Amino acid sequence: MFDTTPGPYTGPVPIVTHVHGAAGVGDESDGYAEAWYLPAANNIPAGYATEGTWYGFFAGKAATKFGATWGPGFATFQYPVTQRASTAWYHDHTLGMTRLNVYAGPAGFFIIRGGPEGDSAVLDSRTGLAAVLPGPAPREGDRFPPNKTYYEIPIAIQDRSFNADGSLFYPSTREFFDGVAGPFIPDTDISPIWNPEFFGNVMMVNGNTWPFQMVEQRRYRFRLLNGCQSRFLILDFSQIPGVEVWQIGNEGGFLAAPVNHTATGNQLLLGPAERRRRHRRLHERAGRHLDARHVGPDEPFGGGLPGVDFPVADPRRPAR
């Protein structure tokens, strides 16, 4: 309960990890929003809670269930990973600031391989034998920069906005979103800081702005993740002659049969947190610069066709 309108939080950053798409995970390991914890720092101001109200409860469950010990600045989770091969991802889950923490960077792929329906379960319809999927993929322990070429590539797409000095831009008031300048809590139920939605004006891929990838004339396997705050992505490959796009999986695993997106407009819709797996065949494009465009809206997506039912995203438009 507030007696006056609160100002922005400027203390240590809380965090609790959630693996989005993991199956069979106990509630003690699922990143309960109120089981967050602060860093194990020696300069936390007096009066600050160092852990969420449910941290102790789930710490006790983890100790009983699999003998894990939690302590200042950390928690130990257990993931059974018994589901079929799929593309999951991890991100922060802290109550009230999940979006802000994900925006700052703690998010990435959690790729599950093998199992009863792993890559070997994908059959070549021509021979009935196990299909040969593009590889290799990046692996733990690989050199950086790599000394080999990858043909299976994870691609996390997110939108950001930056200040002039290169730091991340964060809206400082609710007024940024819709012009509401108050009254705020406790006189209304409107927060002075939280913004219901955010659309950045810079697209990032795997943490890089305006990235590029040198490719060969062959098949690639891309694992796509929409890691945006509010933005629906519509990836458009229709302006790239000679590129075929086939979808072979979604966030739950392999599809029953590949889907030919090239035959249906060569566009792919991805909602926030949605994952897809695609084969992309590149041919007859040697030495050319190829652009994959995002033609979704700079606003909440309500369906329809780009350029008909809504204006497509404008790369020159400021954040909102």
Q: What are the pLDDT tens digits along the chain (320 aa)?
A: 889 998 888 889 999 999 999 999 999 999 999 999 999 999 998 889 999 999 999 999 999 999 999 999 999 999 998 888 899 999 999 998 898 999 998 899 999 988 777 777 777 777 888 888 899 998 888 988 888 899 999 999 999 999 999 999 998 899 988 899 999 999 999 999 888 888 998 999 999 998 888 888 889 999 999 999 899 999 888 877 778 888 988 888 888 888 888 888 888 899 999 988 777 666 555 555 566 778 888 888 888 888 888 888 876 665 55
Omega of the bond prior to 145 within 30 degrees of 0, cis?
yes
CA pair distance 179, 170, nearest whole angstrom: 16
Q: Which residues face 93 on adjacent strands?
A: none
What's the pTM? 0.88
Give the CA radius of gyration of the chain.
22
Q: Is the Cα dihedral 74, 79, 85, 87 positive or negative? A: negative
Q: Is the Cα dihedral 180, 182, 184, 188 positive or negative? A: negative
Q: Which residues face 156 on adjacent strands?
A: 225
Report the side by side order of strands in the sheet with 253-260.
Answer: 208-209, 202-205, 152-160, 219-226, 275-282, 243-250, 253-260
